[in-house]
Amino acid sequence: MTAISLLGIPNDDNSSHLRGPAEAPAPIRRELFSDAYSSWSETGVDLEGRILDRGDIVFDGAADPWDLIERNVARALDAGHPLICLGGDHAITHPVMRSVRPRQPRLTILHIDAHPDIYHAYQGNPRSHTSPFARIMEEGLADRLIQVGLRTVNDHHREQFARFGVETIPAGRFADALALEIDTPIYLSMDMDALDPAFAPGVSHREPGGLSPRQVIELLHTLRAPIVAADIVEYNPRRDIDGMTATVAAKLLKEIGGMMAKNAARPEAALA
């Protein structure tokens, strides 16, 4: 039985607008483990007993947060299980990838988001939550970057897309039958503001015109390559309404975990 590691990364030091995503892991866990919901995912995988919760990284100011994230992610990956990280803002994806990449000679990032998060720097901060994918691609931490659900693209973003060879599927071109051809292991980065605020109001940067949870779930279910690690980021409990967004985040976590377990068990998914 494939186990799934879960690690909380409660850090929003690099948020540009509002604080709050550092408080996200606890409410997502509460919904994930609530008796109100089934532990089965729609993939046909029961996550009961599969999730190894490694708690939250403690950021005490004594060490560089990036070093703490890298070390803790590496420790979790050393156990040999797929890993889901709960942010935190999107800045955490960069140090997470520094530990994921050495274990994956070939790797595609599937990034689902309203925003490209690929600024060279924002407000003078190269670690900004608007910049992780610039750092990731500069450091060669992925071979391919696919961004889905975008709806706030400017000329600087387009320059960065061309620089790094980013493949983009804006929200306006998202088709319900979308199926991506990916022939490497996958790192999945799920920003909750990819969803329309009608479904996920608990985010710092609400951007109307987004995806539905059903569209994201259906996209996840088309993946045939193994998801070796993932993050769910930018949930801001301070902006949520009656825990709606936490419930959606927990639902997506179950579907990601189900696909991790399902594809890990498929011989044809054991890609180099």
Report strand pairing: 186-191 vs 167-170: unpaired
Among candidates 232, 169, 147, 236, which has minimal Cα distance to 197? Answer: 236
The structure tokens 């985040």 sit at: 249
pLDDT at 61: 85
66 assigned to some structural domain: no
117 marked among binding-site residues: yes
Phi-psi region of 49 (alpha: psi -120 to 50; beta: other; left: phi over 0): left
pLDDT at 2: 85
Element containing residue 5 per DSSP (H, E): strand 4-9
Q: Which residues of the chain have pLDDT under 50?
A: 267-270, 272
Residues contacting 268, CB < 8 A, separation 6+: 224
Closest CA relative to residue 268, chosen from 182, 188, 187: 182
Query: What CATH number has the domain bearing residue 50?
Result: 3.40.800.10
Q: What is the pLDDT of residue 178?
A: 85
Domain-embedded: residue 64: no
63, part of any domain: no
In a domain, 65, yes or no: no
The pLDDT score that the predictor gives to residue 176 is 77
120 is in an annotated binding site: no
Asked if the structure places residue 105 within a domain, the reply is yes
Q: Which residues contact 60 (CB under 8 A, 6 or more apart)?
A: none
Q: Which residues contact 204 (CB under 8 A, 6 or more apart)?
A: 15, 17, 18, 20, 21, 89, 193, 234, 236, 239
**Domain contains 38:** yes
Asked, for residue 67, whether it belongs to a domain, the answer is no
Side-chain-side CA neighbours of 270 within 13 Å: the count stands at 3
Quick check: 121 and 128 in contact, CB under 8 A?
Answer: yes
pLDDT at 265: 64
Q: Report the number of distinct structural domains present in the chain.
A: 1
Annotated binding residue at 113?
yes
CB 109 within 8 A of CB 185: no
> According to the annotation, is 53 in a ligand binding site?
no
Give the model's pLDDT for residue 222.
95
- Domain enclosing residue 191, as ranges: 4-57+74-269
pTM of the model: 0.95
Identity of residue 27: P
How many Cβ atoms sit within 10 Å of the Cβ of residue 230?
26
Long-range contacts of 117-123 (CB under 8 A, 24+ apart): 117/90, 117/191, 118/157, 118/160, 118/161, 118/164, 118/166, 119/156, 119/157, 119/160, 120/156, 120/160, 122/16, 123/16
- pLDDT at position 272 is 45
Is residue 256, in this structure, part of any structural domain at all? yes
